[in-house]
A and B are shown apart, each in its own frame.
Chain A
Amino acid sequence: DVKVTQSSRYLVKRTGEKVFLECVQDMDHENMFWYRQDPGLGLRLIYFSYDVKMKEKGDIPEGYSVSREKKERFSLILESASTNQTSMYLCASSFLRDYQINIQYFGAGTRLSVL
């Protein structure tokens, strides 16, 4: 079974803190994604990566950055946390397949509260 592991299930941080959310997958997937999930909204893509040291902005990258130093690990960084970044953060991974079913596998999520 594919396993996507997020380092924390719950985090409480203060405004202005630098926050690291870690995600590791064990299926040798090329693609990795960071989403945020808020009530009443669909998942929104923050950043994604197709390869080591490669990153692409998603729909809502402002206030976030990412790092992918190893294929299995994709980190989301909040440089200076703000209260509007309180949310559920979901990491996902998938194979790089342009013409086949591109199923994304998700971690259990990190619920971040910024006070």
Chain B
Amino acid sequence: GQNIDQPTEMTATEGAIVQINCTYQTSGFNGLFWYQQHAGEAPTFLSYNVLDGLEEKGRFSSFLSRSKGYSYLLLKELQMKDSASYLCAVMDSNYQLIWGAGTKLIIKP
């Protein structure tokens, strides 16, 4: 079957760096997405990786290793507004998104 695994919850301190991991097993691979979802709000697109390596976008970076079925989202200089759930999703061979359950990130002052 298809499976996306990510930690349920993480806690970090304001100003610090946090890495949220995602491992996947899917039928085919057409890219990996990270979304941010604040409580009670819509998920919003953060990043997309289809080739191995690191994609940097401001304070957020996303890494992909296709051979290991592994990705991480790196958040630097954490701010209180970064408190949210972070969803990992893989696009399979049918171009459908398979979603992880999300990682709730708690930022403490």
Chain A residues with a Cβ under 8 A of chain B: 4, 40-45, 58, 90, 98, 101-109
Given contacts A4-B42, A108-B41, contact A103 B97 (CB under 8 A): no
A43 to B101, CA, bound (A): 7
> B43 near A: Cβ within 8 Å?
yes
Q: Do A103 and B95 touch (CB < 8 A)?
A: no
For the complex of A and B, list the 3 residue pairs with the smallest distance between their C-beta atoms, beginning with the closest: A42-B99, A106-B42, A43-B99
17 A-B interface contacts by CB (under 8 A): A40-B8, A41-B101, A42-B87, A42-B98, A42-B99, A42-B101, A43-B43, A43-B97, A43-B99, A58-B96, A101-B48, A102-B91, A103-B48, A104-B45, A104-B97, A106-B43, A106-B44
CB distance from B67 to the nearest CB of A (A): 22
Q: Which of B40, B48, B102 contacts A42 (CB 8 A)?
A: B102
A106 to B4, CA, bound (A): 20
Residues of A within 8 A of B7 (CB): none
Residues of A within 8 A of B102 (CB): 42
Task: Given contacts A42-B102, A101-B48, A105-B45, list 19 more A-B pairs with CB under 8 A.
Answer: A4-B42, A40-B101, A42-B89, A42-B98, A42-B99, A42-B101, A44-B99, A58-B96, A90-B43, A98-B95, A101-B31, A103-B48, A106-B42, A106-B43, A107-B42, A108-B40, A108-B41, A108-B42, A109-B40
A96 to B12, CA, bound (A): 38
A106 to B48, CA, bound (A): 16
A16 to B1, CA, bound (A): 33
CB distance from B49 to the nearest CB of A (A): 10
Q: Which of A42, A58, A103, A108 contacts B45 (CB 8 A)?
A: A103
A107 to B44, CA, bound (A): 9
